[in-house]
Structure 1
Amino acid sequence: MSEALLELRGFTVCYGPVEALHQVDLTVQQGEIVTVIGPNGAGKSTLLNATMGLLPSSGTLTLAGRTIARPSVETMVASRVGLVPEKRELFGEMSVEDNLLLGGFSRWRRGQRDQAERMQEVFGLFPRLQERRAQLAATLSGGERQMLAIGRALMARPQLLMLDEPSLGLAPLIVREVLHIVSSLRDLGVSVLLIEQNARAALQVADRAYVLEMGAVALSGDAGELMTDRRVIETYLGVGGQKAA
């Protein structure tokens, strides 16, 4: 087995007296795509936000063998962890190219002047962004905005990229295109932690999966095996999932 890149042990998040995540254990290996599926309100987005340091947490977070006592956005970005939030949060009045350059600002600030090279990598993954490099982000289609959000995160050369609902609001054809690109990130040496409401699509692209219910891990295992698990089929995949399995 490859080396663990991210390890969460007993990871817990509270909103005041309410426990949103309870004692979550989760691992992402080097070069692996791991998905977390579950119903609305299960704590999936909370998991990503707390891992990124946007929410306070308790438990243990270990990244590439180093325990991070108090995760913060600054620490995680410096450790080459990227987050593409559900709302994408692009700068609509800026061009595609300028949004990408902002994504690489942390590297520029550290003296790494390779933004042009990084941008060509992103354009290789998303040729449509190169066609629209001078276009304002606000004028892009939903699928193009998602591509730009992922591309902007890749400009920082993350070792771990966390994606929150990348298929949200996209047409099925675009969902397939975006998730195909997500699966190709392995070739760039990027590990992925993927939150997805579309359980079938997520399990098809992932190596391993966790099922989160009411803030706790209910099931975990090989993504292909969970595709054939009776409980997963009945709860998350429906009749179509049973046929596929």
Structure 2
Amino acid sequence: MANVLEINKLSVAYGKVEAVSDISLAVGEGQIVTVIGPNGAGKTTTLSAIMGLLPSRGQVSFDGQVEVVPEVERMVVRGMNLVPEKRELFGTMSIEDNLLLGAFQRHRHGHRDHAATMEEVYALFPRLKERRKQAAGTMSGGERQMLAVGRALMAKPKLLMLDEPSLGLAPLIVREIFRIIAELRRRGVSILLVEQNARAALQVADYAYVLENGQVRMHGEAGALRNDPRVIESYLGLASKHQEMLAS
């Protein structure tokens, strides 16, 4: 399997404090790869550096091409997209207009397929179509997450990076979000998933990395890590019934 993303010895510092140290990871084409770990482990920082939102050292290779200094606009044009934890929607704009903004870079580069892409997004998220004229700021948390993912899909990404997609959502909505993540893989989208809900993440992922204090402590097939005593003790033991309900 070819890798759509390869990270080699990625490091990020905030002033003199190194938040991420020499991280190496890979995402294969059509794979879901998850990064789990405690708060402050460097998970969000890693995604931001890959996307070019933060300066970093190391090597980022995307779709077979090394990015010496990743730049956000270039990464989006090349087929990478990030759905941030805070979703960052335009609250006063309609759902439909938020989606159209997701296709802006493709439109700038001569692609005129946004109408067909929007119908694909609406097929994934029928609720967005029902409410397409509604202001994004009036939506529930789950609907905003769906819109944030839909907007990213408007760019037709080869790699979709998701930062804490289940954060703050009700259990039923969490299950729906993870069902959609699995469906996106079925459609050929590669996904790098940062997620606090380790049980749900390991349930849906093909491969996993465990991040602690800015370093990769463990990695392997998601199914193997799900049954690893160290992972169970550190990440799956606490509130395991609640996490199991969200993952099922």
| TM-score category (smaller protein) | over 0.9
| Letter aligned with residue 20 of structure 1 | A
| Alignment correspondent of 2:63 | 64
Count matched residues.
241
CA RMSD of aligned residues (A): 1.0
8 Å Cα contact 2:77-2:106 kept in structure 1: no
Q: What is the correspondence of 1:83-122 to structure 2 with a 5 Å cutoff?
A: 83-122=82-121
Counterparts of 1:136 and 1:115 in 2: how far apart (Å)?
A: 20
TM-score if structure 2 supplies the norm length? 0.95
1:188 deviates by 2.4
- 1:74: Cα distance to partner? 1.5
**Residue 58 of structure 1 aligns to which amino acid in structure 2?**
R
Which structure 2 residue ranges, 5 or more long, are not aligned? none
User: 2:126, 2:119 → 1: CA distance?
Assistant: 10
Give the TM-score normalised by structure 1: 0.97
Provide the C-alpha distance between the structure 1 equivalents of 2:136 and 2:73, rounded to a whole number of angstroms: 25
Alpha-carbon separation, structure 2, partners of 1:222 and 1:106: 35
User: What does 1:75-86 align with in structure 2 at a 5 Å threshold?
Assistant: 75-86=74-85
Paired residues of 2:7 and 2:25 also in contact (CA < 8 A): yes
Structure 1 residue matching 2:237: 3-state secondary structure: helix
Give the equivalent residue in structure 1 for 2:196: 197
State the shift of 1:110 in Å: 0.9
Q: CA deviation at 1:187?
A: 2.6
Q: Report deviation, 1:200.
A: 0.4
* Alpha-carbon distance in 2 for matches of 1:65, 1:151: 26
The residue type paired with residue 157 of structure 1 is K
1:171 and 2:174 matched: no
Gaps of 5+ in 1: none
CA–CA distance in structure 2, aligned partners of residues 236 and 205 of structure 1? 16
TM-superposed CA distance for 1:87, in Å, is 0.2
Could you tell me which amino acid in structure 2 is paired with residue 173 of structure 1? L
CA distance, structure 1, for counterparts of residue 187 and residue 229 of structure 2: 35
Q: Which whole-Å CA distance do the structure 1 matches of 2:73 and 2:87 have between them?
A: 19
Aligned counterparts of 1:201 and 1:218: Cα–Cα separation in 2: 20
Identity of aligned residues (%): 63
Aligned to 1:37: 36
Q: Secondary structure at the match of 2:133?
A: coil
Q: Quick check: 2:27–2:192 contact (8 Å CA) kept in 1?
A: yes
Residue 19 of structure 1: how far off its partner (Å) = 0.5
Inter-partner Cα distance in structure 1 for 2:22 and 2:52: 17
1:130 aligns with 2:132: no
Map 1:3-22 to 2 at 5 A: 3-22=2-21
Letter in 1 for 2:32: I
Report the CA distance between 1:111 and its aligned residue.
Answer: 1.2
| C-alpha distance after superposition, 1:63-115 (max 9, x if no partner) | 12111110010221121100000000000000000000000111111111111
Question: Which residues of 2 match residues 143-154 of structure 1 at below 5 A?
Answer: 143-154=142-153
| Distance (Å, rounded) in 1 between the aligned partners of 2:156 and 2:187 | 9
Tell me the equivalent position of 1:224.
223
Stretch of structure 1 that moved more, 31-40 or 184-193: 184-193
